[in-house]
Amino acid sequence: MEELGGRRPRQVMRLELLDERQLGELRAAVFTRLAAHGAVNWVEHSLGSARSGWTLAGRSVADTPFVGGQVVLAAGGLATAVRDTAGAAPRPITEADIDAFCRVADALPEVAMVEPPCAPDDDAEAARLAAVGRALTVGGKHVMAVCGSLQETTAVIEMATAVAGGGDELKRRPLATVALMPGVGVSAASAAAAAGLPCLVAVAPSFFGAQDPFAALAESFAVALGVAAALQYSHPGARVGVALPPGRRGPLDAAALAAVAAAAQLTASFGLPFVATALATQAAGPDWLASAENTYAALVCSTAGIAGIAGAGLLDGGASVSLHELVMDAEIFSYCASTAAGIPVDEETIALETIEHVGIAGNALGERHTRRHMRDVWRPRLFDRTPYEAWEREGRRQSYELADDRVQQILETPAADPLPADTAAELSKIAIRAGRSSRDA
């Protein structure tokens, strides 16, 4: 293995569901479908100019690299209900709930971007735009804005431009990513690219449960790659990736996760990043079921080479959100990402000299090497590893109670960097104006 600066790279865990022959067959199936539209010759050439990654710029918090080999976490989703506490019935989301969700997401270092939940409204587009406005106003992290039309994409661009302080600054540091809904065409993607915003082209999740998932996956990807290639043809070097939106209510079972892993390999073979909404537990609260289902999904996705895992904080199959589940999902993601990152193997980590010095009956706890690396291992904040007697002595507190402490601590702390009032008012006007235009159209 090639030496890197005197240290060997980590032994990264990687799940490759498809062997070279199977991946080649899947790519051929995609090209067969593209050929029906006369798009084979220029698709691969156009995608060759796509960026393999970019930076998720935050308004008031640290930027996050979004590159191959490094998985990031996206919080939220298009839920319209919230569960306040464990066991509570879901209730409609309010503007205050959106603000609270964004503030908690801001405080969690594992979260790289936020897809805000939205208040229930007969005009879904207006509700999504209003939620994006709240996320840009209250939150400081990168925003993932789901768009169902060119008009909605244009409104998101207007909002991001107002917050960034102008179009040139937005191109330098794009504060939002446009995630197109299935079926939305090239015009919306081109508008996002012209403004400098990254764009995620949706793959229709029709292959979940399909009688022939191989063929359904090829068909879905042919459509998405056609849009991505057309975008690269008109805007060479545009930031473009592929996104898998929720395709079913409830958790992703083994067959669905296998399809997601195959989709990740296929996307990577075209040099594009892939984001999957995989944290969609069917649990009605942040309990052991939610933890089991989301740990399973997050570990598969982390090892499959997915660039982004979305859905942190969702419950009820994506129909509701929970601040407590968001905190717990961040911990689950942290554990799975750390596991998938592997272990560096070199002279320093093998520590032969320390082992020889300590000997068979010695104790390594006091050694310099131990002190130097004692914090290298993953450590939980919520999942209690203390001995039973200590846990009982300290009140037998469950993970949910520790998550509740964290949520309350975050919400009781004043917001660090709220958006100026005049800019926030402008975002609201843009959302209202776009919603009115949509109803009039």
Contacts 24+ apart (CB under 8 A), 38-46: 39/226, 39/229, 42/229, 42/233, 43/225, 43/226, 43/229, 44/229, 44/270, 46/229, 46/230, 46/232, 46/233
Kindly indicate the confidence band of residue 92, based on its pLDDT and cuts at 50, 70 and 90: very high
**Which percentage of the chain shows pLDDT scores above 90?**
47
Q: pLDDT at position 351, please?
A: 86
* Maximum mean pLDDT: which of 42-56, 148-162, 361-375, 396-410: 148-162
Q: Are strands 72-76 and 54-56 parallel, antiparallel or unpaired?
A: unpaired
Kindly indicate the confidence band of residue 1, based on its pLDDT and cuts at 50, 70 and 90: very low
**Which percentage of the chain shows pLDDT scores above 70?**
92
pLDDT higher than threshold 60 for residue 315: yes
| CA-closest candidate to residue 411, choices 133, 78, 112, 108 | 108
Task: Give the tens place of pLDDT for each residue, 322-376.
Answer: 999 999 999 999 999 988 888 788 888 888 888 888 888 888 888 888 888 888 8
User: Which residues, other chains included, contact 278 with Cβ-Cβ below 8 Å and sequence gap of 6+?
Assistant: 252, 257, 260, 297, 298, 300, 301, 306, 309, 310, 311
Q: pLDDT at position 5, please?
A: 40
Q: pLDDT at position 4, please?
A: 36
Dihedral sign, CA of 87, 312, 180, 15?
negative
Task: Give the tens place of pLDDT for each residue, 95-146.
Answer: 999 999 999 999 999 999 999 999 998 889 999 999 999 999 999 999 999 9
Task: Give the tens place of pLDDT for each residue, 247-304.
Answer: 555 557 788 888 888 889 998 888 889 999 999 888 998 988 999 999 999 999 999 9
Please give the Cα distance from 118 to 129 (Å, whole number): 9
Residues across the chain: 441
**For 234, which DSSP code?**
H
pLDDT higher than threshold 70 for residue 2: no
**What kind of fold does domain 20-342+423-435 have according to CATH?**
TIM Barrel (3.20.20)
Q: pLDDT at position 214, please?
A: 78
Backbone φ, ψ for residue 111 (5° rounding): -80, 125
Please state the domain extents for the chain.
20-342+423-435, 344-373
Kindly indicate the confidence band of residue 378, based on its pLDDT and cuts at 50, 70 and 90: confident
**Hey, how many other C-beta atoms are within 10 angstroms of the C-beta on 397?**
13
Residue with tokens 């999902």: 329
